[in-house]
Amino acid sequence: MYLIFFLIPNLFCHPERVAEGSTSYLLKTLCIVLGLVCVALAALGAVLPLLPATPFLLLALWLFARSSSRLERWLISNRLFGRYLDNYRRGLGVPLAVKIGTLSLLLVTISLSAIYATSSWGVRALLFAVAIGVTIHILSIKTCKRK
């Protein structure tokens, strides 16, 4: 799931390349449905510690950008996370406090999962490899000043 963090920046680079009329009705409908599913999974991820919310929100934003300008505006104008999604999409970066909070939560949940949820060293190694990859990605994102 955290692999989405690595793929999303390239998907957002040129949303204007997708012309309004270039996508079929079926594909637009599919994108809208998948986007709404991603928003629902993100809502679950906000309360469940091992389900990440951010990748689902980024994926939903990407899907809405290609299918529904109304839903895209709805997601961007959300008072809780819309500003962060918009800043990320436009390449402005993420506030330092958000990076610290995200990394703290990531490391705590991965560590607790590795210690208490599994006794397999292979699974533990995989969990920490994922944590290292996501940490590198988050640290590589530009840091913006909070307004």
Could you read off the pLDDT of 10-51 as tens digits, one per residue?
A: 444 444 444 455 558 899 999 999 999 999 999 998 887 667
Higher pLDDT, 81 or 60: 60
Same domain, 80 and 109: no
The pTM score is: 0.65
Same domain, 57 and 104: no
Same domain, 67 and 138: no
Whole-angstrom Cα distance, residue 72 to residue 50? 26
Same domain, 53 and 108: no
Per-residue pLDDT, averaged over 80-91, amounts to 87
Same domain, 77 and 113: no
Quickly count helices (H) and strands (E) in the chain.
7, 2
Confidence of residue 121 (pLDDT cuts 50, 70, 90): very high
Same domain, 24 and 88: yes
The pLDDT of residue 91 is 87
Question: Dihedral through CA 116, CA 41, CA 18, CA 76, nearest 10?
Answer: -100
Percent of the chain whose predicted confidence (pLDDT) is above 90: 37
Q: Across all residues in the chain, what is the average pLDDT?
A: 82
Residue 141 exposed, middle or buried by CB count within 10 Å (0-12, 13-18, 19+): middle
Q: How far is CA 99 from the centre of its chain?
A: 13
Domain, as residue range, for 72: 1-92
Reading the block at residue 72, the tokens are 């895209």
Same domain, 112 and 63: no
Domain end point (choices 64, 92, 120): 92
For the chain, how big is the Rg over CA atoms in Å? 16
Residue 6 pLDDT exceeds 50: no
Confidence of residue 88 (pLDDT cuts 50, 70, 90): confident
Domain end point (choices 92, 110, 134): 92
* Contacts of residue 11, Cβ cutoff 8 Å, sequence gap at least 6: 62
Same domain, 101 and 85: no
Same domain, 87 and 137: no
Same domain, 13 and 74: yes
The 8-class DSSP code of residue 68 comes to -
Higher pLDDT, 54 or 115: 115
Structure-token match 């510690």, residue found: 49
Same domain, 72 and 99: no
Higher pLDDT, 81 or 132: 132
Same domain, 83 and 99: no
Q: How many domains does the chain have?
A: 2
